[in-house]
Amino acid sequence: MRNYFFLLLFLPCTLWSQERLEGLDATVEMSGTTSTGEYAPLWLTANHYGLSSTAPQSAYLRARIERDLKNDSARAWQLGYGLDLAVAAGHVRTGIVQQAYIEGAWKKLRLTLGAKQRPMETKNAELSSGALSLGINARPIPQARLEIDWFSIPGTKGWWQWKLNGSYGFMTDGAWQEGWAREGSRYAKNTLYHEKAVYWKFGRTDILPFTYEIGLRMASEFGGTCYNVKSVRANNNQLTNYIQKTNLRAFVDALLCRGSDATDGSNPNVAGNHLGSYIMQLKYHGESWQARAYWERFFEDHSMLTVQYGIRDMLIGGEVTLPRNPYISSVVVEYLTSTDQSGAVYHDGTKSLPDAMAGRDDYYNHSLYGGWQYYGQGIGNPLLTSPLYNDALGQPHLLRFFNNRVKAWHIGLCGDPSAEWHWRLLASMTRNWGIYLYPLEDMQHQNYFLGEATYRPRWAQRWSGTLGVGLDHGDLIGNSFGAQLTIRFKIND
Q: DSSP string covering 342-406, please?
A: T-S-EE---SS----EE----TT--SSS--SEETTEESS-TTS--GGGTTTTT-TT-SS-S---E
Query: Is residue 45 assigned to a domain?
Result: no
Q: Is residue 47 part of a domain?
A: no
Q: What is the CATH number of the domain that holds 325?
A: 2.40.160
Cβ neighbours of 332 (radius 10 Å): 24
> What's the confidence (pLDDT) of residue 237?
66
**Residue 351 predicted with pLDDT over 90:** no
- Quick check: 163 pLDDT over 80? yes
Q: Return the minimum-mean-pLDDT range out of 13-27, 204-218, 377-391, 472-486.
A: 13-27
| Cα 392 from Cα 474, distance rounded (Å) | 12
15-19, 213-217, 301-305, 308-312: which has the minimum mean pLDDT? 15-19
Contact yes or no for 449/471 (Cβ under 8 A): yes
Q: Distance between CA 336 and CA 448 in Å, rounded?
A: 14
> Can you give the pLDDT at residue 85?
98
Q: Across all residues in the chain, what is the average pLDDT?
A: 91
Is the pLDDT score of 62 beyond 60?
Answer: yes
Q: Which secondary-structure segment (H or E) carries 4?
A: helix 2-5
Q: Give me the domain span that covers residue 438.
A: 105-484
Alpha-carbon gap, residue 293 to 119, rounded angstroms: 18
CB count in 10 Å sphere of residue 418: 9
Above 50 in pLDDT, residue 229? Answer: yes
Alpha-carbon gap, residue 258 to 250, rounded angstroms: 9
Are 407 and 129 in contact, with CB atoms under 8 Å apart? Answer: no
Asked if the model's pLDDT at residue 186 lies above 50, the reply is yes
What are the pLDDT digits (tens) for 125-144?
Answer: 999 999 999 999 999 999 99
Band of residue 8 on the pLDDT scale cut at 50, 70, 90 = very low
Residue 88 lies in a domain: no
Calpha distance 473→447 (Å, rounded): 5
Whole-number Cα distances in Å, 368 to 27, 228, 230, 306, 400: 40, 9, 9, 24, 11
Gyration radius of the chain's alpha carbons: 23
Q: Which strands, in side-by-side order, build the sheet including 187-189?
A: 187-189, 225-230, 239-243
Whether residue 198 lies inside any domain: the answer is yes
> pLDDT tier at 350 (50, 70, 90 boundaries)?
low
161 located within any domain:
yes
pLDDT of res. 309: 73
Helix (H, G, I), strand (E, B) or coil at 22: coil
Give, in degrees to the nearest 5, the angle at Cα 302 between 298 and 303: 80
CA distance 371 to 146: 25
Q: Mean pLDDT across the stretch 310-332?
A: 95
Contact 289, 306 (CB under 8 A): no
CA angle 90, 92, 95 (to 5 degrees): 85
Q: Tell how far CA 24 is from the center of its chain.
A: 26
Q: Residue 160: beta bridge partners?
A: 202
Neighbours of 310 (CB within 10 A): 10
| pLDDT confidence of residue 74 | 84
In whole angstroms, what is the distance from residue 423 CA to residue 408 CA? 23
Is there a domain that residue 278 lies in? yes
Phi and psi torsions of 3, nearest 5°: -55, -45
The Cα diameter of the chain in Å comes to: 79
Listed range (17-26, 213-222, 309-318, 324-333) with the worst mean pLDDT? 17-26
Whether residue 215 is predicted with pLDDT greater than 50 in this model: the reply is yes
Task: Answer yes or no: is pLDDT of 275 > 70.
Answer: yes
> CA 456, CA 352: separation in Å to the nearest integer?
70
Type of residue at 358: A
Total tally of structural domains belonging to the chain: 1
pLDDT band at 391 (very low <50, low <70, confident <90, very high): very high
pLDDT of residue 23: 80
223 or 14: whose pLDDT is higher? 223
Give residue-wise pLDDT tens across range 68-120.
998 888 888 999 999 999 999 999 999 999 999 999 999 999 999 999 999 99
pLDDT level of residue 242 (50, 70, 90 thresholds): very high
What lies within 8 Å, CB to CB, of 113 at 6+ separation is 6, 9, 101, 102, 103, 144, 145
The answer to whether residue 23 sits within a structural domain is no
DSSP string, 406-425: EEEEEEEEEE-SSSSEEEEE
Mean pLDDT calculated for residue range 272-277? 94
Is the Cβ–Cβ distance between 59 and 31 less than 8 Å?
yes
Q: pTM of the prediction? A: 0.92
Confidence of residue 202 (pLDDT cuts 50, 70, 90): very high
Burial bucket for residue 119 (CB in 10 Å: 0-12, 13-18, 19+): exposed
Residue 19 has pLDDT above 80, yes or no: no
Task: Report how far residue 94's alpha carbon sits from residue 60's, in angstroms, rounded to the nearest whole number.
Answer: 9
Phi then psi dihedrals of residue 253, to 5 deg: -60, -40
3-state secondary structure of 264: helix
Which residues are within 8 A (CB) of 472 and not within 5 positions of it... i.e. 6 or more apart?
A: 37, 39, 41, 42, 446, 447, 448, 449, 478, 479, 480, 481
Q: Which pLDDT does position 266 carry in this prediction?
A: 64
Residue at 85 is within a domain: no
4: pLDDT confidence band, cut at 50, 70 and 90?
very low
The pLDDT of 253-265, averaged and rounded, is 84
The per-residue pLDDT for 232 is 61
**C-alpha closest to that of 115 among 193, 20, 29:** 193
